[in-house]
A and B are shown apart, each in its own frame.
Chain A
């Protein structure tokens, strides 16, 4: 086990231990914070597939995060009002079941990623950044001006959705769900990076011409990565909405895209567990600096600037040393 793996294991164990400790000491708010870390880390794991593995600097991942959130909001609001979503040509009812919501959210955000990706990937570099940002903003304005689901005010869901066999109203149970999904996504992401697809994608990031020369299409590889990435971020969005029992257009805002990216850079770009470390650091900063000053974003900004300018490896890079030379 090398140093990075050791740090990753410690991270994952720590994230599981904190809420258990909090439960023993009756501190439900700490469990909520840990749940938030798990959800943000999951969103980051999604972005990391596009950004770390594929080299696609997407500033529009809030689009998928928001679509996941609205999948939850729309299904659950129809279920709580006992109104079917659609009666004709076939009856579609709302749902309060998490697995149904997750699948809907993942499919919807995957479709959105397919469309946005197919258009945006026609370009590269700085164009790609601007275009993904613009599509994110498009959905933001759409969510604000679409009155059927709350418009600017968002949608409130009164009771957290259920999961068969668990009582999701207990914070620790809900944390368990989020943590398990995060662990599965990390496992998937690690397998993906080692798979032929992941290797080809990595190659397409480094030298697209060579990938093309061996008969693979960089465009298709990137689009596939973008869709997978969008799906995972969408799942995180559905969980985040369930955590707050509330969705609003702010999930679509460009700040959300920026923050998901901040998790990656704080943790370390291209590191498998970078999003976990980054999300944990972000939530801790928010909690402790936010307690000290209302203007804690200034300190976050300065810290981020210092990390970008002087400490490129982020937290994992700092702890584990330089990345093994496969990059």
Chain B
């Protein structure tokens, strides 16, 4: 394994991790504040990607596409919160799982009905395409670098939002005692809608940003959402910091495992067998990481002890 390949994979892992963070942040906020497990979070990721692809197709502007993704996902999130999710806060987790599973079915088939089964493509704009030369002579796609930076900025913004603004104070208060802040006169149902829409917007943005690297298709959100669950289990539910660190760990494990496992097995197997076995084992590595964290700290790295 050469150093250049290694650095490239580390950057890919960071990029993947940051995108997972955008998903996981919304999930963990929604769980922390409202106590709700939302399986339909992946559907909002998909909504963002489709909105971006549709707007980019009409206007040709990538920036407008991103704005559309944010707006569409936030609007879909707010709508779903008002119509369905709101009724689920007092229900048990089983009802939440089933109702949000039903939402996945509705969103996925609705999107298939509107856009068809074929994947859409969202092109990287010219000014962001092509490679950039990093110090040390490493060529790396500019777009991936930019979305990593965008993700980092959003992560920073989110920390400021939570720790420095009035909304953040309310969110944190909502996490520790819902009844109390309602009693203190905070409009709790409005706060819930805002938090849900915020999480949805982050998911939608992630969908649009990743949609330009991969194809935009129905069902694209759920595998990412399940990884975001793994991130939350590792980081600890309700913790934004845990989500960030968990996301980076999962991202790096995913990309580095993909090259390290086959290389490791090549030491004592022949080449093709090592590649096949290595990639099969690498696909399980993230979950092994999760299992190890569970054995060591069942409440996650930054979760409050229950």
Contact = CB atoms under 8 A, between A and B. Distances in A.
B98 interface: yes
A133 B229 contact: yes
B165 to A, nearest CB: 27
A126 B31 contact: yes
B72 interface: no
Given A134-B233, A145-B283, A305-B103, A123 B298 contact: yes
B94 A122 contact: no
Contacts of A309: 84, 87, 99
A127 B238 CA distance: 11
A121 to B, nearest CB: 10
Contacts of B94: 51, 57, 265, 269
Given A130-B229, A134-B230, A297-B108, A119 B294 contact: yes
Contact of B99 (A120, A122, A125, A308): A308
Interface string A290-322: 000001111011101100110010000000000
B208 interface: no
A302 B226 contact: no
A284 B110 CA distance: 22
A297 B283 contact: no
B150 interface: no
A142 interface: yes
A51 B295 CA distance: 23
Interface string A125-159: 11101110111011001101111100000000000
A262 interface: yes
Contacts of B295: 119, 122
B301 to A, nearest CB: 13
Interface string B34-66: 000100000000000000000000000000000
Contacts of B276: 145-148
Contacts of B102: 300-302, 304-305, 308
B178 to A, nearest CB: 16
A202 to B, nearest CB: 16
Contact of B101 (A130, A147, A262, A296): A262
Contacts of A261: 97-98, 101
Contacts of B4: none
Interface stretch (B14-22, B151-159, B180-188, B284-292): B284-292
A261 B104 CA distance: 14
Nearest to A143: B280
A298 B109 contact: yes
Contact of B106 (A51, A131, A135, A302): A302
Contact of B37 (A126, A135, A148): A126
A122 B93 contact: no
Given A122-B298, A126-B237, A295 B113 contact: yes
Interface size class of B (residues with CB under 8 A): 35 or more
B87 A130 contact: no
A174 interface: no
Contacts of A59: 97
Nearest to B113: A295
Given A122-B294, A130-B233, A144-B283, A262 B226 contact: no
Nearest to B222: A254
A176 interface: no
Interface in B102-160: 102-106, 108-110, 112-113
Contacts of B232: 130
A305 B95 CA distance: 9
Given A262-B98, A295-B112, A125 B103 contact: no
A28 interface: no
Nearest to A300: B105
A135 B95 CA distance: 21
A162 interface: no
Given A127-B237, A134-B229, A261-B98, A298 B37 contact: no
A300 B287 CA distance: 31
Given A59-B97, A135-B287, A304-B101, A123 B226 contact: no
Interface in B221-275: 222-223, 226, 229-230, 232-233, 237
6 contacts: A119-B295, A134-B229, A138-B287, A261-B98, A298-B106, A304-B99
Interface of A: 51, 57, 59, 119-120, 122-127, 129-131, 133-135, 137-138, 141-142, 144-148, 254, 258, 261-262, 265, 269, 295-298, 300-302, 304-305, 308-309, 312
Given A261-B98, A300-B105, 17 more contacts: A57-B94, A119-B291, A125-B93, A126-B31, A127-B300, A131-B290, A133-B226, A133-B229, A134-B229, A258-B101, A262-B101, A296-B109, A297-B105, A297-B108, A301-B103, A305-B106, A308-B102
